[in-house]
Homo-oligomer: A and B are copies of this chain.
Amino acid sequence: MFEQLGLIGCGLMGGSFALALKRAGLVKRVVGYSKSPSTTERARQLGVIDVEAPSALLAVSGADIVLIAVPVSATEATLKAIKPMVTPQMLIMDVGSTKSDVLDAARRALREQIGSFVPAHPIAGKERAGVEYADADLYTGCPLILTPTERTLTTQLQQAQDIWTALGCKVMQMSPEAHDAAFAAVSHLPHLLAFALMNSVQNQAQGEQFLALAGPGFRDFTRIAASDTKVWRDILMANRTELLAQSQLFQAELKAFEDLMRAGNPQALEIMIEQASVARAQWQMTQLPKPC
């Protein structure tokens, strides 16, 4: 049980955490701060936070648990701003989609206090952003990944594990590097490919006619291309090392398909399509008990 949550970033992710924590009876008070004062005010009106703070630093003052729910590129500045109020007993977490860059930022910003910071990535979200969509059930049933380092304090790590478990998450631990490689492969690269496909089609002279003929396969394949621009700019930049590595592996695979098409080898092509088709069909059967 915590006394006070200091919430920096009262949007969909942060607001949902506050609501879930309160509903679970795990916190008494939520003090919130958002860069936009109207967001902070709206969060209070909606009952997502109890008290509006005029700065990140003041939101953290007196808190025993802190959640940073800002775009990943703002993590370092946020942590620097709250550093004077960070105590050795405090649990600080984030919800960013990339972890190596967040840890680098945290090391620079928090220095000797880095042990209080437990990097977290809940695999959850909605098509719509904003505190209006905050939902106490957003995280229920979803995977959550913690990426502690050798400097992370045992007490804080255990608290983080307990909190997310209490909110209904399936909690996993990975190294930041393994996390970033995995999400480069199964999330960031698909987004990059969907962005590139949309632009490749629309930048052709006949692009508009082509798009008018697109069907349900195209609809599903490109759905993620409509994602939030700034969030994905930050993710592609923050995780570019792993993402570029995954893109190289992907392009080598694509070239293998193309080589078989050029060589006129339908037998070998069929084997490669079969491998993809079987893997996808199997994955569908074992994953995602509920959409997160």
Contact = CB atoms under 8 A, between A and B. Distances in A.
Contacts of A264: 237
Interface residues of A, number: 91
A261 B276 contact: no
B190 A206 contact: no
Contact of A230 (B193, B270, B276): B270
B262 A232 contact: no
Contacts of A222: 190, 280, 283
Contact of A192 (B226, B243, B254, B284): B254
Copies of this chain: 2
Contacts of A269: 233, 236-237
What is the interface of chain A mostly: helix, strand, loop, or mixed?
A: helix
Contacts of A210: 181-182, 185-186
Interface of A: 73, 123, 143, 145, 178, 181-183, 185-187, 189-204, 206-207, 209-230, 232-234, 236-237, 240, 243-244, 246-247, 249-254, 256-258, 261-262, 264, 266, 269-270, 272-277, 279-281, 283-284, 287-288, 291-292
